[in-house]
A and B are shown apart, each in its own frame.
Chain A
Amino acid sequence: MATLKLQVKSRSGRDLLPDGLLLPSDATVEDLKARFAELKPRYYTARQRFTLPPREGSRSGEALADGKRLVADYGLADGSVLFFKDLGPQIGYATVFFWEYFGPLMVYPLFYMLPQIFYFGIKAPEKSLVQSLALAYWSFHYVKRLLETFFVHKFSKATMPIFNLFKNCAYYWGFAAFVAYFINHPLYTAPPVKRAAAALATAMLCQFANFRCHVILANLRPAGSGRGYVIPRGFLFNLITCPNYTAEILGWICFSIATQTAAAAIFTLVGAAQMAQWAAAKHRRLIKTFDGREGRDKYPRRWVMLPPFF
């Protein structure tokens, strides 16, 4: 078994390890990252990103994915060059999800329970049944999200840049306050209770559908089966690439109808726009991966996220 000596450069060409990086020839990417972290303790493994030299006409080369072997999967040999990028301080996915979902769970009920603070000076009448149902639904939704974060979701990456924590929390907490402010306002005009109840019941069905989609996604890749993509099948996945988003958006549309609030509709629209971007990217990725060649399956014709338009 030979020893490889790899050159590690920054993307501007600076040599980061003058003595090179020594690894056995059967080393994996994890071994590489562990060794690099030993030499440069500031860059713990989650912060490291290595890319191969770019090919002709490309701006950047392929990134090294955890779990693969250096020589066998990337053709790295003694003297090969790798480019390093610092991804910045990282934070765990589950940590971010916790804080971004915990906020709305705390913020919304504050508006419901403390009108004397948030609607200072305005006389607050009794809450309508619709407002109470809305509070229950909203709370249920975010409890569901928190439980899914810790018991259902399998994250494809362990960490994200720490800046995302602030960005995501600003979005979720901000919109929670925005929506809660209007629904719990003393001058709120409730739609007919029957309509609101029917809409929220439909929203709950959407939540169950969304949950089922999450369970299917979590079970797509059983532990230890490697990191390859799998074509999702079953339930709504036979028709739509991202039915979890479909169910989520429909749920929020129902919530907007139930509460008859422009703020909820705006929240729904912005969320839908973001989910559409993610769905389009996922759809493209799956089509590109499952191109039908070399024994791979061909990705079936499916709606991206919102039949019959998209």
Chain B
Amino acid sequence: MFKCKAVWNKLAPLVRASSTLCLQNARKSVLRHGRRLEMVQKAQMSSGPAGGGGENTLYYVLVGATCLGTGVYAYRTVSGDKERYNERMIDLVNRPKQGPRAAEAVKPVEEPTLTEAPVEEPLVTEAVVEFTESEPVTEPLVEASIPEPTVETLVTESVVEASVPESIIEVSVTEPVAEAPAVTQSEEPLASVVESETEPTPVIITAHVPEASPVSESAAVSEPAPAAEPVESTAAHSDVPEHAPYLLIGGGTASFAAARSIRARDPGARVLIVTEESELPYMRPPLSKELWFSDDPKATETLSFKQWNGKERSIYFQPPSFYVSPTDLAKVENGGVAVLTGRKVVHMDVRENKVKLSDGAEISYEKCLIATGGVPRNLQVIDRAGEEVMKRTTLFRKIEDFRSLEKISREVKSITIIGGGFLGSELACALGRRSTDLGLEVIQMFPEKGNMGKVLPEYLSNWTTEKVRKEGVNIIMDAVVKNVSYKNDKLEIKLKDGRLIETDHVVAAVGLEPSVELAKSAGLEVDSDFGGYRVNAELQARSNIWVAGDAACFYDIKLGRRRVEHHDHAVVSGRLAGENMTGASKPYWHQSMFWSDLGPDVGYEAIGIVDSSLPTVGVFAKATAKDTPKAATEQSGTGIRSESETEAVAVTLKAETTAPPPPVQQKEDYGKGVVFYLRDNVVVGIVLWNVFNRMPIARKIIKDGEQHADLNEVAKLFNIHED
């Protein structure tokens, strides 16, 4: 405001002066003219302030010419700018598409340019382009025409030309007709544009080349590339396919079952399994059962075990020749299953349908299964106990854990197993069996009152504990571990009630923590009650994402929401997920079962919710010598007791052919029978105790979900007295 006023104040007198001057001049001229007109009418003398006639014309001509020149120049500049702008926009739009085209474009361009590598000259291979303004350009501008007229790419040849380190050549492959004039005009500004982009383009190219082209082409492109960087990054990712129609994360039982299901239902399906482990998919039950009972000294290496019929089988679901290599997956004619080992999926982008691996590679998918299973839980006291204790602790789950424990069992004098569930009891029995041969002391401790205390009703749990004791295991019940320390080359376990146990090695079998690390990046729900990814009855977490196996907390239509950690469930849920990934939309309906054998005398199969906190009704018959798991396998002619359920299930034990089963001398004789687990008077779980091949009946009863008045009548359906 002040400024304005100041300026106005300054200007005002000038204005006044000029205005008065004008007025005076005007009056003068008028008067003059007036006088002249009176006096002289012939000569017109324009002596006014406007200037003479001739001068006027010149003035007008000059002004006119200037205006015209300005107009022409402006027009040319504007239209040139417009063309340049258009071209720039096209360049920017094409740059993301530059990848796949880059490979194609670079190849044919390679030949003409490589021959002229050391020469810095404008190289024109296309006759269409006219250089009206051909000034020596420091950046050689190469234009090549490519047979596909529709292709517009922008490729820098910094990757290709090794001997031209500085210059970055931007090759505009343009539609010959339309863009040529634009190219000619914009040549110079384009050169300057190129200069300014010296920095970003190499980065862009190196990033694009590994990602863009399929593996075979990227290999060809990276060959001439001088920079070590692009070569390295392509080499590292060269065995990772960029896209997998079916991507299965995790390489365990559920994943393999899904792969098989997908291949059976979708002919020619291409399935990629990505697993953190270095092994091909294998089954876990033999790791704590059959492999320990094998007579074969090489069992730990070959991981094969003998079935009842003498036939060997491996724990691997299929030998390596079954699988296709990941690099061939996209090309093989009828599709196949490929396994990418030693890679972990660390990030999942659900919106873009792609995952990122631990080595940075990215894989896009159409349908994805998460079957990541879990990791064994550890006791907090052991976690905090220090390295010496951790070195002497095994968390048992994988093949390498089996191998290491097997080796340790031959070296140490005493092993303690913490945990009284399935895994702990099976390992205790397996090690107990070896205890006499190896001079090994086997101790098992758990907080419950008996083995399988959370699964079997108390009377059966007690009975089971006795059996395990007979296998040579020293059982310590009501044991809560308070402290584990390393002293005098031994581990000392202190219990809450003060007892002290000395041992050489500890096996912690205290449960499984489901692996849900991808939940965060994928935005998937994790269940707070059971753990694991929360999925619906069809095992779906979100569109195109399913979860199966140990990691899935699913809705069971009959039994409610649950999470099951058994082998058969992994097979059933994996198969169901595979069916649903190929369009089936079936809910979890076929109830999975599980089984356990503790020694040659005790074996049971179970189905449904088998929780010892539920009220139970058990119906038992007296057992004869014929009622053992061993006898069951021999009679039914099935080497695998659960073969009738699933095809890929481990065998029951069949190790001792020499010693007959010891006679059953118990207070209460729970030889064989059926136990019903009830929830609101409905049978939700059944244990078949030493009765085999009756699982279909049990499954039917659970499926019906009826309230039965007399369970003894229901028990009759099982014919427990017969074989």
Do A and B belong to a common assembly? no
Please report B residues at the A interface, Cβ cutoff 8 Å: none
Please report A residues at the B interface, Cβ cutoff 8 Å: none
